[in-house]
Structure 1
Amino acid sequence: MSRLTIDTVYLKDTLAELLSIASPTGYTDTIVRAAVGELRRLGLEMEITRRGAIRARLPGKSPLGARAMIAHLDTLGAQVKMLKPNGRLELVPVGNWSARFAEGARVTIFTDKGAYRGTILPLKASGHTFNEEVDTQPVSWDNVELRVDAIIKDQYDLERLGFAVGDLIAIDPAPEFTDNDFIVSRHLDDKAGVALLFATMEALVRNDAELPVDLFFIFSIAEEIGIGGASVLTDDIASLITIDNGTTAPGQNSSEFGVTIGMADQAGPFDWHLTQKLVKLCEENDIRYQKDIFKYYRSDSAAALEAGYDVRTALVTFGVDASHGYERIHMHALRSIAELLTAYAVSPVEIGRDREMMGSIAGFPTQPMEDADVFPRPVKPQV
């Protein structure tokens, strides 16, 4: 069986629903419940960690040497650092993103007494007051503050209404789905990846696809702070494909169209055999692809490896313009990735030895080195 047909209407509707649910790292319970509801509708069995990471399973012919795909439910956000004397809130970022993209953002602040709306503004926000100083203020989190939409004149009013240091803040995504299939929004990293997992599941379930091994769909909840897939895999999982954003920017080979296959990130190269398999599947199924390397980027797979999981890893990405800002992607990339994931899910297992965590050299794969003299013999000096 080759790639399956993807229901792009379902994919787009799922993404829109995910974007409507606030889920900054540390405040993900609501989106976890929404994901569980959709998994139940699709008929998948699942387990949830105590903090909310999800591991769902589609059974295959064998549980050994299982495959897994992972995307993260959490997004960038902010947190209250201090209640300021002027009645505004000092902030720190949750995740790695620039205050340049925070300026002007509409937000929701979650307090113990309820949620409030507000706006992140530069300290010098009024051109009628500060004139050219508005354009010369440095870009940093020390130079922004949060204006709450409530009657507040000082920090005591903030305390009275329930604001406190540590309150978490969700940034409005402001999504727009254009008629020519571009999608512009915050938090496409990685709500689009989550939507891709659901679109892949839907296609496999709808086609009653036969899988050679169990296939796990994993949703992590703390990727933006580097934890990601550190605590939700099982020892039976032999390969892990991360679905996340690729950066379309000068010096990068990513594209907003087709599949971008990550060859390495700041944690190092991805597994050669698994990556080559994905490239081969793209070529066999006429799926447009390109390769890229990300120097200032890491994903769920790095967290899994650092946690000690002996698992082959790969990264497939949808090209994102202006990552961690007002991001833009295209449906062509989303559909292409989902098609690749379905082709991978039904493809035969090529490294049977991966069924066991440990074993002999028998069945261990070989990387081609026909043109290399792997172990050159020393040249004896002439007398």
Structure 2
Amino acid sequence: MRLIPLDTEYLTDVLLKLLYTASPSGYTDRVVHLVCEELERFEIPFELTRRGAIRATLKGEVSEPDRAIVAHIDTLGAMVKGLKENGRLELVPVGHWNARFAEGARATLYTDLGQHRGTILPLKASGHTFGPEIDTQPSGWEHVEFRIDERVRGLPDLLRLGVHVGDFIAIDTSPEITTTGFINSRHLDDKAGAAVLLTALEAIRRTGTELPVDCHPLFTISEEVGSGASGALHQDVAEMLTIDNGTTAPGQNSSEFGVTICMADLGGPFDYHLTHRVIQLCQEFGIRHQRDVFRYYRSDSAAALEAGNDVRTALVTFGIDASHGYERIHFDALESLAKLVTIYMQSPALYPRDRYDIGPRAGFPTQPG
């Protein structure tokens, strides 16, 4: 195993490509094609599930027990709940996020006939009209509406434009990368994780690095609505490393720098042995890291296990401030994660016994204590 030089310019470029490609859960086809084009450029074979989850394959010296590395390319968004008499649109969220983060957001409405720009606003948006009521009005999705940038005065105009209940709304990401290395944007969860995985794949391909076992990069399209990797795994996958965001907030041990390794989340503890293998790799190769536990969090790993997959899972994250809002990360975390992913792909299988779905006691590990 060795540290492989990363193309950090590519990491930045592909992150921006992903961020500028709208992909709320349920409306992900364009970002799927984008990722497929990158994989084709690297000459990495892949397959698509019926709905568009991507399963790629990097061949190793042996085919089992093989591993998967997963990031999701769907994001939060909104959907039209109703057409209002005032020409505005009632909304419901796609994914779980607070309406206060939607207030003031610029967005694109996708209809059957085309697309339209607009803004999500609170019902009382003007202090000149409503005075102090703009500060005392409730917050929630029933208290916001979408103002479409068209000559719309009522319901007939919305119908003329072809607006329907169930149309998707994609929120502008508005990314900004500062000279200090911070990246501010919506939907860094998990476009940044996908960019890390693609950067690691680019490095493996560019350097001709050989892998000990088959590795399956997965890009899922429904993590934000709960199903995630449940239907995208190869059935013989024994280990799954998930890349996602780690929340930096009071009471958390995550950091915007280095790798944050999640020990447990809402679904319970991650696999002890795979998680500690990841920690060992960080220690051995000098990759800054910290551990954390997330109480109100789930990922592709939880979806895979709940679907009945008997797979060892671990979660590695980039620290993110204001998750599911206007998010901020640091480039240091992305680079650290990409290093770790390339090392993990070069590492031997955790346990040869894991090639079998079920087997004898021989070769089964023991935890310390």
Query: Is 1:252 matched with 2:252?
Result: yes
Partner of 2:29: 29
Shift of 1:273: 0.2
Q: 2:82 & 2:155 partners in 1: Cα distance?
A: 9
Are 1:149 and 2:149 matched, yes or no?
yes
Could you tell me how far apart the structure 2 residues matched to 1:353 and 1:208 are? Answer: 28
Residue in 1 aligned with 2:232? Answer: 232
Match of 1:307 in 2: 307
CA–CA separation in structure 1 for the residues paired with 2:160 and 2:66: 53
How far the C-alpha of 1:201 sits from its partner, in A, is 0.2
Q: Residue 374 of structure 1 aligns with which residue? A: none
Q: For 1:221-274, what per-residue CA distance to the aligned partner results, in whole angstroms no more than 9, with x for missing partners?
A: 000000100101012110001100000000110000000000000000000000
Q: Is the 8 A contact 1:44 1:57 kept in 2?
A: yes
Name the TM-score, length of structure 2 as normaliser: 0.99
1:68–1:215 Cα contact (<8 Å) kept: yes
Q: Which residue of structure 2 lines up, in the alignment, with residue 111 of structure 1?
A: 111
Match of 2:66 in 1: 66
**Cα deviation 1:2-37 (Å, max 9, x = unaligned):** 222211111011101111100001100001011101
Distance in structure 2 (CA, Å) of the matches to 1:348 and 1:328: 34
* Residue segments in structure 2 that go unaligned for 5+ positions in a row: none
Distance 2:196 2:67 in 1: 16
Superposition pairs of residues 38-53 of structure 1, within 5 angstroms: 38-53=38-53
CA contact (8 A) 1:305 1:311 kept: yes
Separation in 1, partners of 2:72, 2:348 = 27
Displacement, 1:356? Answer: 1.2
Letter in 2 for 1:52: G
Equivalence for 1:122: 122
Match of 1:200 in 2: 200
Give the C-alpha shift of residue 45 in structure 1.
Answer: 0.3
> Is the partner of 2:213 in helix, strand or coil?
coil
Structure-2 residue corresponding to 1:214: 214
Q: Distance in 2 between matches of 1:115 and 1:280?
A: 49
Matched-pair contact (CA < 8 Å) for 1:63–1:236 = no
Alpha-carbon distance, 1:61 to partner: 0.8
Separation in structure 2 between the aligned mates of residue 361 and residue 8 of structure 1, nearest angstrom: 45
Aligned to 1:85: 85
1:266 paired with 2:266, answer yes
CA contact (8 A) 2:99 2:140 kept: yes
Give 1:160 shift: 1.2
Aligned-partner SS, 1:59: coil
In structure 2, C-alpha distance between the alignment counterparts of 1:143 and 1:131, rounded to whole Å:
17
**1:301-340 map, 5 Å:** 301-340=301-340
- Check conservation: 1:120, 1:145, Cα contact below 8 A: yes
The equivalent of 1:358 in structure 2 is 358
Percent of residue pairs identical: 62
Q: Is the 8 A contact 2:257 2:332 kept in 1?
A: yes
Q: Deviations over 1:194-229 (max 9, x none)?
A: 001101101111121111110010000000000100
| Aligned 8 A contact 2:66 2:349 in 1 | no
Distance in 2 of aligned mates of 1:350 and 1:170: 40
How far did residue 349 of structure 1 move?
2.2
Contact preservation (8 Å) 2:274, 2:350 = no
Partners of 1:127 and 1:208 in 2: how far apart?
Answer: 61
User: Structure 1 stretches (4+) deviating beyond 3 angstroms?
Assistant: none
Structure 1 equivalent of residue 275 of structure 2: 275
Cα separation, 2, equivalents of 1:180 and 1:215: 34
- The residue aligned with 2:346 is 346
User: Cα offset for 1:179?
Assistant: 1.0
Residues 58, 215 of structure 2: 8 Å contact kept: yes
TM-score (norm 1): 0.96
Count of aligned pairs: 369
**The structure with more radius of gyration:** 1
Mapped to 2, the partners of 1:20 and 1:140 lie a distance apart of 27
